[in-house]
Amino acid sequence: MEQIRTLSSERNTEFRLTFWGVRGTLASPGIEFQRTGGNTICAELKCGDRIIVFDAGTGIRELGSKLIAQNRVRKLDLMFTHVHYDHVEGTPFFAPFFLPDFKVNVWMGQLDGAKSAEDAMKGLMRRPYFPVGPGIFTADITYCDVPDCAEFDLGDGIKLRTAPLNHPGGATAYRIDFQGRSFAFVTDTEHVPGKPNQDIIKLITDVDLFAYDTSLTDEELPDFVGYGHSTWEEALRLRETANAGAMLGVHHMPFRTDDEVDKMERHIKKVHPPSGMAREGMSVDLMNLPVRVKQQA
């Protein structure tokens, strides 16, 4: 697993991000996708002795196996941006759901067609699409419905903020602040050229690192209007406006080969060298990111 930062020396102040899947829309097997990774989207954020997971694409299966193997952490927060297939298809195969000693808080924003987070979970695991429902899970599961632009104290020094995203059916972005550092997870969202999303700007202002939907380029965007996705160019514009530290692009299209992702990253680094593209297995120690001057209140 690629290590782009060193481990924090204090376990209880560890603030580490790991990507277990970075693809959007559809998993991408094949040799031309191996360096970037073919699993759909899933990221793990360690906050001391707490674990927060963003989305449950196919990448969450391997993460689940890792969490089962370790005996220390048995409490998780699983935060869904939304429930389109590429963000939830690993849910029924997430091993901690099947162990009674795991406590899992499932977070979900407001979604068209679902009355609640629990209702959405039941909808994605029902016949004729899946043989069993979430009643098969034996973990202690709590469903948490997330309002737009909300703030939560998760305990253990962890603060959560949310923002609505422009995506068909609805989606939610999340920001975590911990030990004076911060990370935001912002996917899937479609921007309107020339009209920056003020909810996103507010969420990522002064953030140390944020992951953003870079499915497209500005040149490609007109062909995908209404699909709910953004571009690496818009990500960098938002970063500059919000005085954010660095951006990592996620939600790579299934047709985007390793060479194409590398090319997009080169363009990004010409504008802002600390930013780049997320790849499966990439791990970032947020405690070791450069300290920045924040915007004046």
> Sign of the CA dihedral 223, 225, 227, 229?
positive
* Dihedral angle computed from the Cα positions of residues 166, 40, 289 and 157, in that order, rounded to the nearest 10 degrees: 70
Q: How confident is the model at residue 79 (pLDDT cuts 50, 70, 90)?
A: very high
pLDDT of residue 11: 55
Identity of the amino acid at 218 = D
Segment 177-182 shows an average pLDDT of 96
86-102 pLDDT, tens digit per residue, is 999 999 999 999 999 99
- Give the alpha-carbon dihedral of 45, 70, 5, 17, to 10 degrees: -10
Average pLDDT along the chain: 94
- Identity of the amino acid at 224: F
Instruction: Provide the number of structural domains found in the chain.
Output: 1
Exposed (0-12), middle (13-18) or buried (19+): which is 169, by Cβ within 10 Å? middle
228 found inside a domain:
yes
Q: Band of the pLDDT at 12, cuts 50, 70, 90?
A: confident
DSSP 79-124: EES--SHHHHTTGGG-GGGG-TT-EEEEEE---TT-SSHHHHHHHH
Per-residue pLDDT, 23:
98
Residue 81 resides in a domain: yes
| For range 279-285, the mean pLDDT | 98
| pLDDT average, residue stretch 26-38 | 97
pLDDT band at 70 (very low <50, low <70, confident <90, very high): confident
Is 154 part of any domain?
A: yes
Helix (H, G, I), strand (E, B) or coil at 30: coil
Of the ranges 53-57, 247-251, 280-284, 289-293, which one carries the lowest mean pLDDT score?
A: 289-293
87 in a structural domain: yes
Establish if 141 belongs to a structural domain. yes
What pLDDT digit, counting tens, does each position of 114-141 carry?
999 999 999 999 999 999 999 999 999 9
Distance (Å, whole) CA 204 – CA 154: 19
Say what the pLDDT of residue 89 is.
97
Enclosing domain of residue 162:
11-286
Residue 23 lies in a domain: yes
Tokens of 41: 């989207």
Q: How confident is the model at residue 290 (pLDDT cuts 50, 70, 90)?
A: confident
Helix, strand or coil, per DSSP, at residue 62: helix
Q: State mean pLDDT over 272-287.
A: 97
Residue for token pair 């924090």: 8
Output the pTM of the full model: 0.94
CA 90, 263, 292: angle at the middle one, nearest 5?
80
Largest CA distance in the chain: 54
Strand order across the beta sheet in which 140-145 lies: 140-145, 103-108, 75-80, 50-54, 42-47, 15-21, 283-285
DSSP 227-273: S---BHHHHHHHHHHHT-SEEEEE-B-TT--HHHHHHHHHHHHHH-T
Mean pLDDT for the stretch of residues 183-196: 97
**In-domain check, residue 297:** no
Other CB atoms closer than 10 Å to residue 162's CB: what's the count?
A: 21
Percent of the chain whose predicted confidence (pLDDT) is above 90: 91
CATH code of 225's domain? 3.60.15.10
Q: Is residue 208 part of a domain?
A: yes
Give the model's pLDDT for residue 10: 47
Across the range 194-207, mean pLDDT stands at 98
Q: Residue 72's pLDDT band (boundaries 50, 70, 90)?
A: confident
Can you tell me the distance from the alpha carbon of 139 to that of 208, in angstroms, rounded to the nearest whole number? 33
State whether residue 78 is helix, strand or coil.
strand
The set of residues, in sequence order, having a beta carbon less than 8 Å from that of 280 and lying 6+ positions away, is 19, 20, 21, 22, 36, 37, 38, 39, 59
